[in-house]
Amino acid sequence: MVSRWPSPTLDAVTQPRDDRGRASTSTVLQIGGLVALAVVVVVVVALTLRGGGDDDPTDTSAEARSSKGAEYAQITLPDDGPLAVSIFGDSLVAGSYAKQPEDRFTELVQQGMAAGYPVEVDVDGEAGAEPELRMNDVPTGMDVVIVAFGTDSATFPQTDFVDTFPALVDAVEAASPDAQIVCLEPFVDPDEDAELVEAVRDACNDTDSETVVPVADLATVARNHAEEGTAIAPTGYEVSERDTAYPGSEGHAAIAAAVLERLDVTG
Domain boundaries, the chain: 23-48+64-266
Tell me the pTM.
0.74
Stretch among 51-55, 94-98, 153-157, 203-207 having the lowest mean pLDDT: 51-55
Long-range contacts of range 101-104, CB-CB < 8 Å, 24 or more positions apart? 101/12, 101/13, 101/14, 101/15, 101/232, 102/10, 102/11, 102/12, 102/13, 102/14, 103/10, 103/249, 103/252, 103/253, 104/15, 104/232, 104/252
**pLDDT digit string, tens, across residues 42-83:** 333 333 333 333 444 444 555 544 444 578 999 999 999 999
pLDDT band at 244; cut points 50, 70, 90? low
Cα separation, 152 vs 136, in Å, equals: 21
- Rounded to the nearest integer, the mean pLDDT of the chain is 75
| pLDDT average, residue stretch 32-45 | 37
pLDDT at 160 over 70: yes
Please give the pLDDT value at position 26: 39
Cα separation, 219 vs 84, in Å, equals: 29
Maximum mean pLDDT: which of 101-110, 156-165, 190-199, 220-229: 101-110
pLDDT at 182 over 90: yes
Q: One-letter amino acid identity for 4? A: R
Cα separation, 92 vs 266, in Å, equals: 28
Instruction: Report the CATH fold assignment for 23-48+64-266.
Output: Rossmann fold (3.40.50)
Please give the pLDDT value at position 249: 85
Neighbouring C-beta atoms of residue 93, cutoff 10 Å: 28
Distance of CA 75 to the CA centre of its chain: 17
Please give the pLDDT value at position 189: 85
Contact by Cβ (8 Å): 114, 150: no
